[in-house]
Structure 1
């Protein structure tokens, strides 16, 4: 394959994936040309997350490496020392031409993306643009009105919140959001809610398009835009690293005052990971932990014209609150968890012993601890950094100082909104089911060490090439046997016992066995208004196929006015399944690589309403499978 053909293949990816792959490939070529005798930089480990996710998973990425002269081994790609660098230069020129042609065609220009910040004999790469060329927001001087360290931190954080109001930064952030796609999804979801309200007479949650768009923004931000970093991959060998120390080298601390240094478990090399606060820089790096995530997500919300706050838990977590115009209240949004309006999740699901939670925006600062606790008295007993009167007076002082230049109309609006919020904060409420789960962001080991682990199922049925025979796979479940069967291409059968261990997510659901009637089925928990369960299926990244046709048998039984809604979902596609018996086929998902089946159970009458909507009801001695999914595939064109 020629260089031109490889470049054409790269251009078939999304603009963001193409740009990132080109940036990395150019950098690989430049590093080798600069230091051709360095064998370490001529070897790329397949298990390196950057190589795997940003080059090998991108169309044309593998071909480009081979075109450069890299040879594939079992665990790596290696450029032999005998390979001429002229080929690298040629491929690099084609990639740079692709970059430049995009700019000429009206793409948003990007500044140089090959920064290496040097520290003595070692380097750390900033995964973003040349930071010297990134416009940075300069804050006005800080007044420093308090001597108490806690109040000083509040004053500093409130001062930093001015950056969210920077119009140039907001404009730059908004350009990165796929707003048309998110708005289309939000409109679809709002119509679905409105239809349910009308047809099923459910309670109107008073959602607006803004509320739905926040949900879509959370999902996109977590799944596509930002990357989580527990510890960076080793720069030398791509291996796993562990935290060693914080850098005190002044040459490292140019763009941030915090640079973490990690030691490789394999080769003992050191890799540096800077913790940036500057929003303009974070729009380039797009990686980090909760601090970086919440900073950028709050900026995105502000860029869309919403009032948003950066919320700091003194026990080491941060998130965002967005003011819902329709609901007339601040709504909790945690982009690390893709969580919307579940404020009690930290206390209930993460087992946090909360003390102080402060919310910061360009306009105001507020103690919002009480929104995140169902036991105000216990929290109050743990607060000892200053008296409550001193804290309240400090917040009032900071708020009045910030708002003194505001118009009378704006100050009156903010005051009325604050009064309504204070009344709301006085009310204790009990956690719902969505607030009883532990943390999902970060590695399992990292979460476990913090005591924030979640009892996870989240099973995904991954379909690899060896599973597919004659372009077809079948996955089925028996309630009587309480097991799944997945027949693989090598004639082996993958068996998953117990219904909950094969589902991606569920809420208020259990398997009911009626001894007297000798029947068994899935139903929602007794005393709940609604239960849901979903299954997720996706093709392995190495499979060069996509879905052609879906055939689904999904039996359910209704009594009285029980309701079961079954949906097949993939990205912006959603198909309702209406049959309680028989098989339904659809080609609506032709061309996709993943989809989810979701069932929602509701309705019913009286004290046994939960029994009036049942999934997969069958006799206890049945050998049938009331849930059978058949997927046929076609080759990717």
Structure 2
């Protein structure tokens, strides 16, 4: 037939290792867009956090606001001189400082060895004040702390710290006590509230210029993925409260929100941002020195970059799994460049942990999670 054009020949097969990026680009765009936070019933990805804050408008948002305002008063108690003096009576300071000095010398020797082998300078992994907190953590978990599944009623007139030792509800009383003990030895602390049913501590490391996860019940140090990827716990909100304000640190503890995130439905994200800014203003309004306010703002910005970096790593891991050459690589989202230190929950009876769904890890790369993590062996207790 006149004008007939035969169909074009099929494209030649792609050599191994070569792929069409069109489909990958489309999937990546869909991943970035994600569902609309305003209409989706799925867990909200931290990558979709808002840029503008809006005040509460509905009853549910106001309830959430009042709850967070109330929780924000918890770390204020750690500044009570009477309680801090009481806390110091229970801490074997001579022992803590001796262990900290020994570990600090280890980290310095480790850094010197690395500098000698690689050339140039090497910074110790942790500073002396970090070592003080680490020594306190070991003492708390192995000597001071006793886990009780069903704590008895506290004895009238019994000192608060003594009650925490012998009748601690490991998910509530003990972390708060551990936070106060860290404050008593000079640490800057945060009390981290999880909307499901767990709380823990963060301590600021001047050496690393960041907030470090600490769970005294588990003897866990700098292991924020423990709950989601070790215990298999789904979490919605992780809010850190301090005397300087409140911060949503969920991105630090939930790296793959699709796998480990729970629905964030207590208030729109823009309202949560407004509430956290309100708490921050309340806590900082009496800071008069311009240098102190500027220092806190710099810390805020540095932490936000850190939290955003977790989102970038999560996206990179997801994209890696899309690539034909990346199948099976990259581990869980948010794991790029990291080594997980994960294990199942240690505190509480087996039956109690199984009832909470915290008896088995979802994945275990290493039998880690407890100290030491990145350092030498802790002193014998």
Q: Taking structure 1 as the reference length, what is the TM-score of the superposition?
A: 0.41
Instruction: Answer whether contact 1:324 1:331 (CA < 8 A) is retained.
Output: yes
Can you list the C-alpha shifts for 1:507-530, whole angstroms capped at 9, x where unaligned? 6xxxxxxxxxxxxxxxxxxxxxx9
**Residue 228 (structure 1) aligned to one of 127, 147, 167:** 147
In the alignment, the residues of structure 2 paired with residue 377 and residue 417 of structure 1 have an alpha-carbon distance, to the nearest angstrom, of 29
In the alignment, the residues of structure 1 paired with residue 189 and residue 70 of structure 2 have an alpha-carbon distance, to the nearest angstrom, of 18
- Cα 1:215–1:172 change in 2 (3 A) is same
- Cα 1:180–1:214 change in 2 (3 A) is same
Match of 1:386 in 2: 267
- Number of aligned residue pairs: give it: 283
Matches within 5 A, 1:226-625: 226-232=145-151, 272-273=152-153, 281-286=160-165, 287-289=167-169, 290-376=171-257, 382-407=263-288, 408-428=290-310, 429-430=334-335, 434-454=340-360, 570-571=380-381
Q: Taking structure 2 as the reference length, what is the TM-score of the superposition?
A: 0.67
Instruction: Answer whether contact 2:61 2:266 (CA < 8 A) is retained.
Output: no
In the alignment, the residues of structure 1 paired with residue 212 and residue 355 of structure 2 have an alpha-carbon distance, to the nearest angstrom, of 29
Instruction: Answer whether contact 2:60 2:266 (CA < 8 A) is retained.
Output: no
Offset at residue 161 of structure 1 (A): 2.4
Gaps of 5+ in 1: 1-144, 233-271, 456-504, 508-529, 533-564, 572-637
* 1:150 and 2:64 matched: yes
In the alignment, the residues of structure 1 paired with residue 339 and residue 246 of structure 2 have an alpha-carbon distance, to the nearest angstrom, of 30
Gaps of 5+ in 2: 1-58, 311-333
Determine helix, strand or coil for the equivalent of 1:570.
coil
Match of 2:135 in 1: 216
Can you list the C-alpha shifts for 1:227-260, whole angstroms capped at 9, x where unaligned? 111135xxxxxxxxxxxxxxxxxxxxxxxxxxxx
Match of 2:87 in 1: 173
Matches within 5 A, 1:29-178: 148-178=62-92
Offset at residue 433 of structure 1 (A): 5.1
In the alignment, the residues of structure 2 paired with residue 174 and residue 224 of structure 1 have an alpha-carbon distance, to the nearest angstrom, of 15
Q: Which has the higher helix share?
A: 2
Instruction: Answer whether contact 2:233 2:260 (CA < 8 A) is retained.
Output: no
In the alignment, the residues of structure 1 paired with residue 60 and residue 101 of structure 2 have an alpha-carbon distance, to the nearest angstrom, of 47
Q: Which has the higher strand share?
A: 1
Match of 1:207 in 2: 126
Offset at residue 377 of structure 1 (A): 5.9
In the alignment, the residues of structure 2 paired with residue 211 and residue 568 of structure 1 have an alpha-carbon distance, to the nearest angstrom, of 14
Q: Which has the larger radius of gyration?
A: 1
Offset at residue 454 of structure 1 (A): 4.3
Instruction: Answer whether contact 2:87 2:161 (CA < 8 A) is retained.
Output: no
Q: How well do the aligned residues superpose, as a CA RMSD in angstroms?
A: 3.2
Instruction: Answer whether contact 2:342 2:367 (CA < 8 A) is retained.
Output: no
